A and B are shown apart, each in its own frame.
Chain A
Amino acid sequence: MVGHGCTERRFAGGRWLTVKPGLPRMVWRPAQHPQVAAVALCDAIRRIARIAQRNAWTLAAGSVGLRAQYWCLGMEVRPDGMDDMLFRHLRSGNAGLVLNDPLDWRPLTNQQRCARGEALVSNRTGHQILVGMQICPGRPWAPSVYLRGGPDGLMAWRMDVRSDHINRRTDQRRWRRATHINVWRDDLGSDKHAVDPWFPLSHHDSVLTVGADDYREMFEEFCAGSEIMLGAGYRWTDPPPFPTATTMVGGGVP
């Protein structure tokens, strides 16, 4: 018992901390966080559990909630939902990302000209994380697939298919109609620095023909490369069909 109703059990790799049965446990390795008191971690677990319950988030037993680390280390969680620490955690592959829902494609309206499908990804970061895909009718061969923090949040990374990009503010690398991934950096935001995809992709950048199967393949390869497990509740849904734009004097606008 370490106080505040929190129990502690030692094991070879560290200690388990449990607030009460049924709530997530946290693996605590004092060597990693020497400045954090066990009582503070228990308080963080309690807070995370409360948020998770309110938002129906999944927190795997035994996971280290990233938000707990923020609290314990006295750091503020950015309101826009992304920073280097969360980015690193997501990229580490230890965030327990699971997609259990189909993409929810929003209807095209006068205000929404591009098709966008999003779904919540359960995770063990203590943050709301979404995966999504956007396809614009004028450029159907160049969709974007992304992972972002919360519905108003910024993107952790975004794969731009068959697009140009130049890393103006970093290494000056250029992509010429080539698939690249814009990655989050605290100093640059979410779309100024790109890297090559770090996972295999089946599509060819030189072939611009696309259909629903291609979108599905791109999306699922992005999920695999982003360590997002496709759960039993996931199934692919096609984006809505695009209307054709016609000018007043005739002729379709591309």
Chain B
Amino acid sequence: MNRCDALADALAQLRSDYECREIPDDRTVLVSTGRWFADGASVEVIVRWDGDEIIVSDGGLVTGRLELIDFHREGPAAKDFWRDIASDFGVSEIDGRVYVRATAVRAAEAIAQVADAVLALDSVRHAPTRQKVRRFDEKVRNWLLEEAGFAIWDESTVTTVSGGEQAVTAVVVSERGPIVVMSAVGGGSSQRVRGTEHAYFVFSQLDRKVWPTEQRLTVLGERPEAWRQDHLAILRATSYVGSFERQLSLASFLNGELLPKDHDLITFDKPLGI
């Protein structure tokens, strides 16, 4: 008995994952490729005969999956990843569909080529996007206005100690005076470093007599636990530091109900209204 015989059933099961099905267009079929995305959806390709050739396409599968989660691949990193992966796998793209043309005898290769490319291209969802960084500012401002119910200055700029104008995320109007809010998004380690540096740079330029620490707030983006403790310590030296995932604490700080001495609004837990 060959050692591989022990896997005969498993291999038969894998082969059964390849399946062809007719679809309404009489030149075209839908093929299951035996490949699956991480979330459990399957990779299917569409094969169309065009004379002696075939066109194998994903039918916009990856594009549709990315659009469904509102991922826009126009950001520089995602765009580069997409282009490089498509180039490495030798696939082309038109109107959001990834495809290759091949002779009919190369059908197996072409199906595998597109299916493998599709799996790799789907991973661009993990690439950082410029839009996400920009939108976190908007999220914070929107939350301040619409949900937390604070008024903010029309102009999001403050005067620095040297007399210059500095853009900030928002300036909140509160009973204890205006509060400068800086947002720092934290999708990746390099973003967290840049966010730390930028918030620190901005707050370092403000006069402490005009803007005491109690009137400064840094709001961190996703996953506050991912921020390095030494970076948080740097930020806490110049402002109170909270997380967008802990909105109750942010609101309590802005209302003057929560002013911990260590400037830490992330681990200090005091629910509102109780």
User: What number of A-B contacts does a CB cutoff of 8 Å give?
Assistant: 159
In the complex formed, the residue of B with least CB distance to A55 is B146
CA–CA, A176 and B67, complex, Å: 23
Known contacts being A191-B41, A249-B101, is A111 close to B59, with CB within 8 Å?
no
**Residues 141-163 of chain A, each 1 if its beta carbon lies under 8 Å from chain B, else 0:** 10010000000100000101001
Q: Which of B21-29, B172-180, B202-210, B228-236 makes up part of the contact surface?
A: B21-29
The yes or no answer to A58 lying at the interface (CB within 8 A) is no
Nearest-neighbour CB distance to chain B for A228, whole angstroms, equals 19
Nearest-neighbour CB distance to chain A for B43, whole angstroms, equals 9
The yes or no answer to B108 lying at the interface (CB within 8 A) is no
Nearest-neighbour CB distance to chain A for B17, whole angstroms, equals 9
Tell me if B's interface is mostly helix, strand, loop or mixed. Answer: mixed
**Are the C-beta atoms of A168 and B40 separated by less than 8 Å?**
yes
Nearest-neighbour CB distance to chain A for B268, whole angstroms, equals 13
CA–CA, A192 and B41, complex, Å: 8
Nearest-neighbour CB distance to chain B for A81, whole angstroms, equals 11
**Are the C-beta atoms of A192 and B39 separated by less than 8 Å?**
yes
CA–CA, A156 and B272, complex, Å: 26
From 204 to 248 in chain A, residues with beta carbon under 8 angstroms from any chain B beta carbon are 208-209, 243, 245-247
**Are the C-beta atoms of A114 and B274 separated by less than 8 Å?**
no
Residue in A74, A78, A243 whose beta carbon sits within 8 Å of that of B274 in the complex: A74
Residues of B within 8 A of A (CB): 19, 21, 23-25, 28, 32, 36, 38-42, 44, 46-48, 50-51, 53, 55, 57-61, 63-64, 67-68, 70, 72, 74, 92, 94-97, 99, 101, 135, 139, 143, 145-147, 149, 244-248, 269, 271-274
List 6 additional contacts besides A116-B67, A138-B59; criterion CB under 8 Å. A113-B60, A113-B97, A138-B57, A139-B61, A252-B48, A254-B57
The 18 listed contacts between A and B (C-beta, < 8 Å) are A39-B273, A43-B273, A71-B272, A72-B273, A111-B74, A112-B67, A114-B64, A114-B96, A138-B97, A144-B68, A160-B41, A163-B41, A164-B41, A165-B41, A166-B40, A189-B39, A254-B25, A254-B46
